[in-house]
Amino acid sequence: MLAAQAIRPAANDLPLQLRKQRVDQIILAGMLANMCVESHCCEFLELGFEVGIVRDAVAAPKLPEGDGYLSALINFRYKANGLWTTDEVVKMLVQA
């Protein structure tokens, strides 16, 4: 597993570089769960990667019209291959 950099996969050769290293699983975390993290998740999934999200290492705004964090978590449940806490990810990485 490898934590991906916060850059658009389609705008660079990151997917190619990951494949050269035989990486097919990605763990995402970041500032805007309902925007950037969700967008990266979708792009990597479309490219055939397995994607996990660190639920307590993402954030999103809460506005009177809605809760971006809750919205992102709901979408991650449908899209991502895994949704974990930081502690769970650390344990998985130590075991690997």
**pLDDT digit string (tens) for 18-48?**
999 999 999 999 989 999 999 999 999 999 9
Number of domains the chain contains: 1
Residue-number span of the structural domain to which 72 is assigned: 2-95
**SS3 labels along 56-91:** EEECCCEECCEEHHHHHHHHHHHHCCEEECHHHHHH
Gap between the Cα atoms of 86 and 84, Å rounded: 7
pTM recorded for the entire structure? 0.81
Average pLDDT, the chain: 89
**How high is the pLDDT of residue 2?**
47
Gap between the Cα atoms of 95 and 11, Å rounded: 33
**How high is the pLDDT of residue 4?**
46
Contact (Cβ atoms closer than 8 angstroms) between residue 71 and residue 60: yes
Gap between the Cα atoms of 13 and 96, Å rounded: 26
CATH of the domain at 77: 3.40.50.850
Gap between the Cα atoms of 48 and 30, Å rounded: 21
Gap between the Cα atoms of 7 and 10, Å rounded: 9
